[in-house]
Amino acid sequence: MYDDVAMRTIVDIPKPALEILTELSRQDNISRAEAIRRAINLYIKAKHGEEKGEAFGLWRSRATDGRQYEDRLRDEWERHEGRS
């Protein structure tokens, strides 16, 4: 019923943060409202991604996922132990 409905809300932003937000918005040539929308989207993506178990940090740009890498290391250990 409310899938595409935008909501207006009042948010108290401390003056120092508002001043920085205003300057960053000017630099990016966007409104403060747009900057806040983008920040909210980043927050949601970060939190939602954690819940889904998405990787972040150093492994983000690797072609191999962590599990494949771990399996490959274990295979090497088993081969190495077999030679001893």
Residue 7 maps to a domain: no
Domain that holds residue 38: 12-53
Q: Are residues 16 and 47 in the same domain?
A: yes
Q: Are residues 66 and 38 in the same domain?
A: no
d(CA 41, CA 61): 22
Residue 3 maps to a domain: no
Position 39 scores a pLDDT of 94
pLDDT at 80 over 90: no
pTM over 0.95: no
Residue 6 maps to a domain: no
Q: Are residues 38 and 21 in the same domain?
A: yes
Residue 46 maps to a domain: yes
The burial of 10, by beta-carbon neighbours within 10 Å (0-12 exposed, 13-18 middle, 19 or more buried), is given as exposed
Q: Are residues 30 and 41 in the same domain?
A: yes
% of residues, the chain, pLDDT over 70: 73
Region 23-37: what's the mean pLDDT? 95
Region 37-54: what's the mean pLDDT? 79
